[in-house]
A and B are shown apart, each in its own frame.
Chain A
Amino acid sequence: MTMSLRSPVSLRSAVTLGGLAAFAILPPLAELFDQPYYLDIAMRMMCLAIAAVSLNLILGFGGMVSFGHAAFIGIGAYAVGIPAYYGEYSGFIQIPLAMGAAGLFALITGAVCLRTRGVYFIMITLAFAQMAFFALVSIEEYGGDDGLIIETRSEFAGLIDLEQPASLYYLILVALIGSLYLVRRIVASRFGRVIRCTKSNDERAQAIGFDTYRYRLICYVISGALCGLAGALLGNFTGFISPDMMDWTRSGELIFMVVLGGAGSLFGPVLGAATFLILEEVLSSWTLHWQVIFGPLLILMVLYGRGGIDGFLRSRHA
């Protein structure tokens, strides 16, 4: 029998580091084996991972279950698409615009949403996302239901050329690592401690003297802006944006990614997004009706998979 030696590297960090390393070396491999398709999947994975990381900041650490996070993805994507529609391709304008617009939307809606609790919070975030959805559906100028094609990707004054798949890929990877770093710093900071405290006992945090509403609102705005970045990158990657990106089922999928990976763990959402997309790819290659399998899997995960993938990896720790 093997003795369970306490290894210096736990399974959890091995998976995390291995995963990031795999992301880092994928482009040359994809080129070597002439499989650009895998690069596409990985890019989509990373964009959604950024969105899931941003949702995890408020859901996992702050206990705010936003059911409208896809709205921020849509806003970010349209902040690339609409300037491009008018011939403004500079990423130095588009990316800050995406984060700013998503952050502003988060500020305005969050100011109302955060007055409510529990179910009401879930539902009102959903309602605001629906508002954004219907607003974009009915603006004919930007394609309405049919969406908008982005013909030219963001330009960065010749510094990087996003028309090269590998450049876009590494930009997204850097953004993902940057978001993970940002969330890690936030969670470890004094601000993050207050946020985590409001999750476990908001009244106590208030009693200590924190204006928890303001802390939660700032956290919500950061999360929204970060998700806007994910949307801007996703818009650049797909080259096609439509209101469908902010459909409420997309918000549901984002929550699923966070919970599947492990809410309240730093890398959980990345694992969740990756697993989600892999499941989707594999199941939909088997059958057109893949959701007949996917739906029950989701239910089983909720019923029996406490802590998500991250919780599982942690339990196998050493």
Chain B
Amino acid sequence: MDWTLLVIQMLNGLQLGVLLFLLAAGLTLVFGIMDFINLAHGSLYMVGAYFCATIADISGSFLLGVLAALPLTFAVGLAVELLVVRKLYARDHLDHVLATFGLILFFDAATQLIWGPEGISIALPAFLDGRVSLAPGIEFPTYRLVIIMVGLTVAASLAYVVSATRIGALIRAGAANRRMLGALGVDVNRLFTVVFAAGATLAGLAGLMMAPITEAYVGMGNSILIVTLVVIIIGGIGSVRGAFIAALLVGMIDTMGRAFLDSAMKLVLSAQNAETAAPALSAMLIYILMAVILAVRPQGLFAPKGR
């Protein structure tokens, strides 16, 4: 076993995990409080990446791109909530799926119309572009380390906001019983709007952090959306803590599977069989994990009580 490779892949898994958490946090809150499935969450991820790429391109500064893209994504989230999502809370899940599927089609096509079919790359500033030495012989890209740190910081602040502030108390109360919350005089609609737009901003943050690695491209949110859905289902819908643990679990398993499954399978299978089966199995791993968890615990690992 190559220990250096193992450490690096664990960090990669962690990086994917925190990225998934940024996406899952908003989705699971919207799900938990408003009982609303938002398939278009991935589109906000893409929108954040495109805003950042455009502004970074014009201004020449990645950081300026980040700072400007966040409020812009927040605004798009507000618009989506006010124009479409708000009208759907009273409907069933089937309608949520369909309408937000329509939003995905719209966002993908509109992005292509505005920015063209080619992806846009973002140049990192010099101080983020290098590698840092973590231990003798273990080097890791600085930027990926920054992603991990930003993600963990956001996770910690979110945990603080949800557990120790007034708005957090409202969010938890909304998740437990939104009618009662409304009856107590809280403007539930405004709370929903703010939570939705904040979730959109977190998705945008994830997208713009990923864009320097993958480019910003049309449809970038669609594949990661499905993985995010897996995360919140495993974690239990509505639970931020569950989303965090599930995100790290999924990020880790997915990365490790892709990196090491073929060598692991060579221990029991012939080299040729292992090489054929490993890619298929590693791509399926997280879905198998989800199926197993749902078969054992149909509400996910940390489903909030009283739902």
Contact = CB atoms under 8 A, between A and B. Distances in A.
Chain B's interface size range is: 35 or more
A295 interface: yes
A298 B280 contact: no
B109 A291 contact: yes
A15 to B, nearest CB: 23
Interface in A169-190: none
Q: Which 10 A-B pairs have the closest CB atoms?
A: A295-B106, A298-B102, A291-B109, A295-B105, A134-B283, A138-B280, A299-B102, A138-B279, A302-B99, A291-B105
A29 interface: no
B160 interface: no
Interface stretch (A72-80, A217-225, A228-236, A248-256): A248-256
A134 B280 contact: yes
Interface string B293-306: 01100111000000
Nearest to B102: A298
Contacts of B279: 138
Most A C-beta atoms less than 10 A away, residue of B101, B109, B291: B101
Contacts of A249: 101, 104, 222
A296 B283 contact: no
A59 B110 CA distance: 31
B129 interface: no
Contact of B99 (A115, A117, A303): A303
B109 A120 contact: no
Interface in B271-307: 276, 279-280, 283-284, 287-288, 290-291, 294-295, 298-300
Contacts of B233: 120, 123-124, 127
Contacts of A301: 98
Contact of A292 (B101, B110, B299): B110
A292 B102 CA distance: 9
B1 interface: no
A290 interface: yes
Contacts of A140: 276
A295 B294 contact: no
A24 interface: no
A123 B233 CA distance: 8
Main secondary structure of the interface of B (DSSP, over half): helix
A112 B295 contact: yes
A259 B294 CA distance: 27
Contacts of B107: 295
Contact of B97 (A117, A122, A127, A141): A122
A119 B109 contact: no
B226 A126 contact: yes
B290 to A, nearest CB: 5
A131 B288 contact: yes
Contacts of A67: 97
A306 to B, nearest CB: 10
Nearest to B36: A119
Interface string B213-252: 0000000001000100110010001000000000000000
A135 B97 contact: no
A292 B103 CA distance: 9
A36 to B, nearest CB: 29
Given A124-B233, A127-B287, A289-B109, A115 B226 contact: no
Contacts of A124: 233, 290-291, 294
Contacts of B283: 134-135, 137-138
Nearest to B291: A112
A260 to B, nearest CB: 9
B88 to A, nearest CB: 8
A289 B276 CA distance: 39
A127 B290 contact: yes
A277 B31 CA distance: 32
B37 interface: yes
A130 interface: yes
B102 A302 contact: yes
A128 interface: yes
Nearest to B279: A138
Interface string A263-304: 100000000000000000000000001111011111101110
Contacts of B280: 134-135, 138-139
A206 to B, nearest CB: 16
B87 interface: yes
Contacts of A292: 106, 109-110, 113
B230 A127 contact: yes
Contacts of A127: 226, 229-230, 233, 287, 290-291
Nearest to B84: A299
